[in-house]
Chain A
Amino acid sequence: MANHQPYERYQRQILLKELGEDGQQKLLNAKVLVIGAGGLGCPVLQYLAAAGVGTIGIIDDDTIAIHNLHRQPIYSMQDIGLPKASTAKAFLENLNPSIHITAYVQRLTVTNALPLLKEYDVIVDGSDNFATRYLVNDACVLLDKPFVYGAISQFEGQVAVFNHSTGNTLPANYRHLFPEPPKEGTVLNCEEAGVLGVLPGIIGTMQANETIKLITGIGTLLVNSLWTFNALTNQSYQFSIATNATTSLLIPTDTAAFEKMDYEWLCGNSTTALEISVAEFDSLRKAVAIEIIDVRAMDETPVIVEFLNKQIPLSEIDTRATEIEKDIVVVFCQSGVRSKKAVAVLAGIFGESKKIYSLKGGITGWKSQTIKPV
């Protein structure tokens, strides 16, 4: 092992005969990209950094909100409003200064995914939406990268190691479980359904464990297997996944085909939402009487006082739609994702009787592009 690496830091795991100095050197040489620095990402990052994974990338475009803290305990009160990726990097550098960490404060897209994923050996998916999950899956299959999958809802979680070849069998990927993404609104996310804070701690720690075993080559991996856990009942199951070649037909076969994929659309996130830019929004609200709806949760910041707006959280948008009176409506949220969902719901309720728009880039985009009045 290289002399500059403090042997003592890893001494208790080097003592394990399965891992040893060889295993530690493999960890130090490994490059892992963690997608999402949220509920799952936090424990994954903590344990991989602590174990001495030599190069860690963190990609997340979100900022820290107070309702994240119950399940994302690497963040503190003073971090609220800061980007998760760079805040996590600072936390991990404090934990283990001898490893190399890169933060990407951006969203994973069809444009940046392939060049970014190519730089890493193992991908850990801790994302919070189906569009990113299918994008990660397809990119990993295309690049032949193993990825450690974890997903949660309320009290339940799932873990698997996807796209990792062992012998002759076709390695399973996410599309062997669910070939096509679910339709919008059929599956609730954490924001809509709630989640027990310790659940991502358990599931993310399982993902970190699988990642460490994968890198060091020890133990049995959840390859072609799906592990499920229920925190209420303590029941866990392990299912085997049969792979078939037909599923591969759904995955783009080259870079050009991948970059043309619209995963948001596939997951029903942008089919009905009409978006307007910050400039269009500003001229529209100055020209005519419009109704502006904030669909973020009540405690999210920044609080908008620059223009009149009404707060109806996304989870209440269908039941409180009758509170919307004007015929032209602009919906906004933090980044422009939830507002598109709200527009889809409202369009279903009002049909052609109202013009409903989603503010592209959300209030973050508006804040960054608007010059404050003197």
Chain B
Amino acid sequence: MTTTVLLFGQLQEITSKHELQVNEMADTHTLLAELSRMYPAIATAKYMIAVDKQIISGNTKLKDGSTVALLPPFSGG
């Protein structure tokens, strides 16, 4: 199974990507651990998580083809 990850704000700078694909991620905790391994700066970054356009709190199961978005807070005005 494949998960698409959409990256926003400074997470795009950390990864140099707007979007990436990862395989065999059962839930959001596993996915974030894998992303933090690939890009250590993600481990300390602050962001909220949306799974299939629903903002979640806590670990969430992923389905094949799920899209996970990581959105950092913006302070600018």
Chain A positions near chain B (C-beta within 8 angstroms): 36, 38-41, 125-130, 133, 150-154, 156-158, 176-178, 182-183, 186-190, 193, 195, 200, 226, 228, 230, 233, 235, 237-242, 244
Residues A151 and B48 in contact in the complex (CB < 8 Å), given A239-B69, A241-B55? no
Listed from nearest, the 7 A-B pairs whose CB atoms lie closest are A151-B74, A128-B77, A153-B74, A190-B76, A152-B76, A182-B46, A40-B77
* Distance A244 CA – B55 CA, assembled complex (angstroms): 12
A130 touches B73 (CB 8 A): yes
Count residues on chain B whose CB falls below 8 Å from chain A CBs.
23
Which one, A126, A226, A233, A239, contacts B77 given CB within 8 A? A126
Which one, B44, B57, B69, B75, contacts A189 given CB within 8 A? B75
* Distance A178 CA – B6 CA, assembled complex (angstroms): 18
CB neighbours (8 Å) of A195 from chain B are 76
Distance in Å: Cβ of A5 to nearest Cβ of chain B:
31
Residues A240 and B18 in contact in the complex (CB < 8 Å), given A40-B77, A130-B73? no
B57 touches A242 (CB 8 A): yes
CB neighbours (8 Å) of B6 from chain A are 237
Chain B positions near chain A (C-beta within 8 angstroms): 6, 8-10, 18, 44-46, 48, 50, 53-57, 69, 71-77
* Distance A193 CA – B10 CA, assembled complex (angstroms): 10
- 23 CB contacts below 8 A, A to B, read A128-B75, A129-B75, A133-B75, A153-B9, A153-B10, A153-B72, A156-B8, A156-B74, A177-B55, A182-B46, A182-B73, A187-B46, A187-B72, A187-B74, A187-B75, A188-B10, A189-B75, A190-B77, A193-B10, A233-B18, A239-B53, A241-B55, A242-B55
* Distance A178 CA – B71 CA, assembled complex (angstroms): 10
B74 touches A152 (CB 8 A): yes
A157 touches B48 (CB 8 A): no
Residue of A nearest to B44 (CB): A186
Which one, B10, B18, B77, contacts A187 given CB within 8 A? B10
* Distance A182 CA – B45 CA, assembled complex (angstroms): 9
B72 touches A244 (CB 8 A): no
Distance in Å: Cβ of A159 to nearest Cβ of chain B:
11
Which one, B44, B55, B57, B72, contacts A226 given CB within 8 A? B55
Residue of B nearest to A128 (CB): B77
Besides A176-B55, A177-B55, A187-B72, 13 new A-B residue pairs in contact (Cβ under 8 A), listed by A number: A39-B76, A130-B73, A152-B74, A153-B76, A177-B48, A178-B48, A186-B44, A187-B10, A187-B73, A188-B10, A190-B77, A195-B76, A226-B55
